[in-house]
Amino acid sequence: MHIARRLTAGLAFACLAVATSFAQQAPPAPPAAQLPKVLLLGTGGTISNRAGGRLTVDELIKSIPNLDRLVRAEGEQFANVSSGEITLDQWLDLSRRINDRYKKDGELAGVVVTSGTDTLEELAYFLHLTVRDSRPVVVVGSMRNPSTLGYEGAANLEDAFRVAADPASRDMGVLVVLNDEINSAREATKTDARLLNTFTSRDYGVLGTVLDRVAYSRKPVKRHTAASEFDVTKITSLPRVDVILSYQGAPGDLIQAAVDAGAKGIVVAGAGAGAMSGSQSQAASYAVSKGAFVVTTTRTGGGTVGGGGTGRGGPTGRASGDDLQPVKARILLMLALATTSDSNEVRRMFREY
C-alpha cells in the first residue's frame, strides 16, 4: 500500500512537472494591439446554416479556438442567406462596403467574406474585379453545415483569417480558401457537388496552401483589385447578361428570347473551343444586330476560346472569353458593359482581366 501511494504521488508529481514545463515553454499571447486587424463580413451560406437558425458572424468568430492569438477579429453581418439569394445589387453594395472600409481604416490588414459555396466562385470573381485595394479579400465557405458530423467551417475560417492577415497575401487579389488550399478568384471553380476538396484551379494549380504557415507558390498575372478600372461607386446597376449552353441541336430562339427580354449581353457556353449550333450562330448575329454583345466561351471546363475576336478591330459586338468559365465571363461582361459600349474596349478587357 505504501509503495502504491508513493508511486501514485510520484506519478502526480511527474505529471505536474511536465504540465509546468509545457506552461513555461508555451509562448505568451502577443499584445492585442500588435496583432493584425481582420474584418469578417458574413453573407450566410452553408457555413452558417445550422439546424434551428443561422450562425451570426459573432458566433462564427467564437467558434474558432484561440483566434485572439492570431488576429484582432471584427465582425459585420452583411447578410445571412443562401448564396443563391444574394442579388446583384447586394454584390455592388458589398464591394462598396469593402472599398469603404479599406479607404477609412489604414490598420485593416484584410477582409474575410463568408459565402455559400454554390455561387462562391462568382461572388469572389466579382470582388476580384471591383475591390480596388492591394490588401487581400478572402472568400470562404464550407461544404458541411454546423449541425453535421465533420463540419469543416471553423477550420476553413481560421485558415481564411490567417491568409487575410498574412503580408504575403497583399497584391494577390481576391482569394478562395477552403480545405487548406488558396486559389485565385479568377481561376477557382467548384468541381464536385459534395466533396470537401471541391474547389480547384483546374490545370493552373493552387496559389498556395495553409498548413503550418501560409505558403504561396505562384501569383496571378491578370489585372485585378488595385489595378482594376471597374469603379462600383460609378455603377448604379449591372446590365442583364445571360449564359446560354450549346449542345447538339440547340435552338437559337433562347438567345433571341433573352435579347428580346432585355439582355444586353449573351455568353455562349459553346461546345469544344466555342462551337455553336447553326441556329445559335444565326441568333448570335440577331443579338448583335439588336445592340447586344456576344461572348463565346467553352463548356468543357478548361482551355481557351479564340473565336469571336480578341484584338482591336475585331467584329463589332463580339469577343472571345479566353479561358474564363462561362459564369465568370458573364461577370466581366456585365462590368464591361456598365463601363463602355465600345467593342474594342470590351475585347481589351477580356484580354487583360
Active site residues: 46
- Rounded CA gap, 194 and 105, in Å? 38
In DSSP terms, which residues pair with 140 in a beta bridge? 114
Among 215, 187, 219, residue whose Cα is nearest residue 203: 187
Strand partners, 248: none
Q: What are the b/e assignments for 169-183, b being 16+ CB within 10 Å?
A: beebbbbbbbbbbbb
Residue 25, C-alpha cell as written in the block: 515553454
Q: With contact defined as beta carbons under 8 Å apart, do 170 and 135 qualify?
A: yes
Q: In angstroms, what CA-CA distances link 167 with 136, 155, 228, 239, 343?
A: 9, 20, 21, 36, 38
State how far the alpha carbon of 351 is from the alpha carbons of 187, 274, 311, 320, in Å: 15, 17, 8, 9
> Whole-angstrom Cα distance, residue 83 to residue 115?
6
Is 224 exposed, middle or buried, given 0-12, 13-18 or 19+ CB atoms closer than 10 A?
Answer: buried
DSSP 141-171: --SS-TTSTT--HHHHHHHHHHHHH-GGGTT
C-alpha grid cell for residue 265?
A: 449581353
SS3 99: helix
Among the listed residues 41, 93, 79, the one whose alpha carbon sits nearest the alpha carbon of residue 232: 93
